[in-house]
């Protein structure tokens, strides 16, 4: 049986996805409620989890490793980074990688899942509220992620991606009670979601363009600060496989610094890096030779 191709973009997504909308509303309420429980320990835990989810999980794991294969790692490192990615509550690896690969294929054109050309709010968060949820439909998304769809761990984690936050939430409840849950789960997750969504919206609207690309991608320094380096988006769209997004010395890219550290430790290889010149990304070993 031939599976239908999922269609992305505003005109293809019809009907409110009430499960997603209700969950997002609940997390935003919980994020606001956190301010009624000022607790330094809970805030520090939230920062730690934000780093694990946003930097190790989304930036290094879901994005630069799984989506673009900008570097290779031992399987246990890949699985650890992927598990961290589920803490961001942005879906399982198969869904996230499939959507992002479509974004690069159709960027700011018909079929882009989240282009500001169809509305700033749509690009930022509206796109997740409409249409059929595809988080668990590994078979339908397999055409975009054949590599992950052959891996049992990624398939399993894509189905049960939400359980990591349940486990962590229960642990936080036992550690510090309600304040730890509100800060470590609800506020931290909501903050991380909006930070990632700003890459979809803000970095296709505001910023500078170093490279001429077929889309509207820009380099935005303040989004880069919120996302550990993902805001150097024009650099990224010009050189998608590069594990380094901040190409100039002043473009802070913490995700790249951690990948570089893994390389020095022998835990990453075949690391692709682009340069300021408009040339394809090279292996990092060649670049520093």
Shortest CA distance to 270 belongs to which of 242, 246, 238? 242
Interval 170-221: pLDDT, tens: 999 999 999 999 999 999 999 999 999 999 999 999 999 999 999 999 999 9
What pLDDT, on the 0 to 100 scale, is given for residue 16?
A: 85
Residue 136 is given by DSSP the state T
Q: Residue 137: pLDDT band by 50, 70, 90 thresholds?
A: low
CB 84 within 8 A of CB 156: no
Residues sharing a CB contact under 8 Å with residue 177, sequence separation 6 or more, in sequence order: none
This prediction has a pTM of 0.92
Shortest CA distance to 6 belongs to which of 104, 122, 134, 146? 134
What pLDDT, on the 0 to 100 scale, is given for residue 289?
A: 28
Q: Which residue has the higher pLDDT, 18 or 220?
A: 220
Structure-token pair, residue 70: 């900008």
User: How far is C-alpha 160 from the chain's CA centre?
Assistant: 17
What pLDDT, on the 0 to 100 scale, is given for residue 139?
A: 66
What pLDDT, on the 0 to 100 scale, is given for residue 283?
A: 52
- Which of 51-60, 85-94, 129-138, 271-280 has the weakest average pLDDT? 129-138
Interval 144-161: pLDDT, tens: 899 999 999 999 999 999
CA–CA distance from 283 to each of 24, 131, 235, 272, 279 (Å)? 40, 40, 17, 4, 12
Could you give the percent of the chain with pLDDT greater than 70?
Answer: 90
Burial class (CB in 10 A: 0-12, 13-18, 19+), 212: exposed
Q: Give the start-end residues of each E strand in the chain.
A: 272-273, 282-283
What pLDDT, on the 0 to 100 scale, is given for residue 280?
A: 52
Rg (CA), the chain: 18
> Which residues face 219 on adjacent strands?
208, 232
Shortest CA distance to 122 belongs to which of 134, 136, 112, 132? 112
Query: What is the rounded average pLDDT of the residues 102-130?
Result: 94
> Which residues face 16 on adjacent strands?
130
Q: Round to whole Å and give the CA distance between 144 and 155.
A: 14
Q: Round to whole Å and give the CA distance between 176 and 75.
A: 34
Query: What is the rounded average pLDDT of the residues 9-18?
Result: 82
Q: CB count, 10 Å around CB of 3?
A: 11
Structure-token pair, residue 3: 């599976």
What pLDDT, on the 0 to 100 scale, is given for residue 278?
A: 53
Token pair 């690969």: residue = 101
What pLDDT, on the 0 to 100 scale, is given for residue 21?
A: 92
In this structure, the chain runs to a length of 289
Q: Round to whole Å and give the CA distance between 55 and 254.
A: 8
Average pLDDT, the chain: 91
Could you give the percent of the chain with pLDDT greater than 90?
Answer: 83
Query: What is the rounded average pLDDT of the residues 239-267?
Result: 97
End-to-end, the C-alpha distance of the chain in Å comes to 50
pLDDT of 69 strictly over 90: yes
């Amino acid at each position: 049986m031939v599976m239908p191709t999922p269609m992305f973009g505003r005109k293809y997504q019809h009907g409110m996805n009430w499960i997603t909308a209700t969950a997002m509303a609940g997390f935003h309420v919980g994020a606001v409620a956190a301010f009624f429980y000022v607790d330094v320990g809970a805030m520090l835990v939230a920062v730690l989890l934000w780093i694990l989810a946003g930097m190790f999980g989304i930036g290094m794991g879901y994005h630069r490793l799984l989506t673009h294969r900008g570097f290779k790692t031992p399987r246990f490192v890949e699985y650890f980074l992927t598990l961290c990615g589920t803490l961001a509550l942005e879906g399982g690896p198969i869904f996230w990688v499939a959507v992002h690969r479509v974004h690069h294929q159709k960027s700011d054109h018909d079929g882009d899942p989240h282009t500001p050309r169809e509305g700033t709010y749509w690009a930022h968060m509206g796109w997740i509220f409409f249409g059929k949820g595809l988080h668990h439909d590994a078979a339908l998304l397999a055409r975009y992620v054949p590599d992950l769809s052959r891996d049992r761990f990624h398939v399993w984690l894509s189905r049960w991606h939400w359980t990591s936050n349940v486990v962590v939430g229960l642990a936080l409840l036992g550690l510090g009670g309600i304040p730890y849950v509100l800060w470590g789960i609800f506020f931290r997750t909501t903050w991380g979601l909006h930070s990632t969504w700003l890459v979809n919206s803000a970095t296709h609207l505001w910023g500078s363009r170093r490279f001429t690309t077929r889309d509207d991608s820009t380099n935005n320094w303040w989004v880069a600060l919120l996302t550990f380096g993902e805001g150097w988006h024009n650099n990224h769209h010009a050189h998608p496989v590069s594990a380094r997004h901040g190409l100039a010395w002043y473009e802070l890219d913490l995700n790249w610094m951690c990948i570089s550290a893994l390389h020095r430790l022998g835990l990453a290889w075949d690391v692709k890096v682009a340069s300021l010149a408009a040339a394809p990304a090279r292996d990092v070993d060649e670049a520093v030779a």
